[in-house]
Amino acid sequence: MIELPTDLPADLVPLSWLVGVWEGTGVLDYTADDHRFTGEFSQRVSFSHDGGNMLNYAASAFLIDGDERTPLVSEVGFWRLVRPAADTDPGPGLLPGRGTAPIRTVDDVEALRTGEGGFEIEAVIAHADGISELYVGQIRGPRIDLATDAVVRSASAKPYAAATRLYGLVDGHLLWAWDIAALGADLASHASARLAKAQ
């Protein structure tokens, strides 16, 4: 059974089923540069909140080879519903909002619902290997579909052009699939995992 937090700001209620720490394993299978990358990995994913209008995201994965664990990726980021920024919202940078922000209600969030019955969301994810992604997509109940709107990589990062991610809550588990266009290859299936709620 999934317990939903009751102390979330209204803007995070559609994302509430993600909050917590998730752990499990997955498989990777991707071909690029005439090389097929395959294997099993372990992963730990955390979604938390600090009272703001976004979820904090952190994930790390390790390739499993017998008793050995080889680091694969570490990511951090922020996920939130799409809504117009108000003068009372903080930012950019350390700039405080102007005036007192009104308390957002369930009705305010419902006004953001799309014609398909979901909510538009965005996620900013930075990888430890010098790649940053801006994802846009939708959350509809316990399903999230995301696609990159922008990818930025440092001069030292490997080629990486686009990605899609799918998340779903199935039988109390967080299932996800990640497609990438990397190392000169077209967008294709790359990895998937099944994670159980650890905290």
pLDDT by residue (tens digit) across 95-143? Answer: 999 999 888 888 999 999 999 999 999 999 999 999 999 999 999 999 9
Other CB atoms within 10 Å distance of the CB of residue 110:
12
Question: CA nearest 125: which of 110, 141, 111, 144?
Answer: 144
pLDDT tens-digit readout, 11-43 = 999 999 999 999 999 999 999 989 999 999 999
**Nearby residues of 164 by Cβ (< 8 Å), 6 or more positions away:** 145, 146, 147, 148, 178, 179, 187
162 contacts 186 by C-beta, under 8 angstroms = no
Let me know how many helices (H) and strands (E) the chain has, helices first. 1, 10
Residue 185, token pair as written in the block: 């290859």
Say what the pLDDT of residue 167 is.
Answer: 98
| CATH number of the structural domain 10-81+104-197 | 2.40.128.20
pTM score: 0.93
Confidence of residue 4 (pLDDT cuts 50, 70, 90): low
pLDDT tens-digit readout, 44-97 = 999 999 988 999 999 999 999 988 999 998 999 999 999 999 999 999 999 999
Phi then psi for residue 16, to 5 deg, are: -60, -30
Say what the pLDDT of residue 103 is.
Answer: 87
Question: CA nearest 128: which of 159, 163, 154?
Answer: 154
Side chain identity at 33, as an amino acid letter?
D
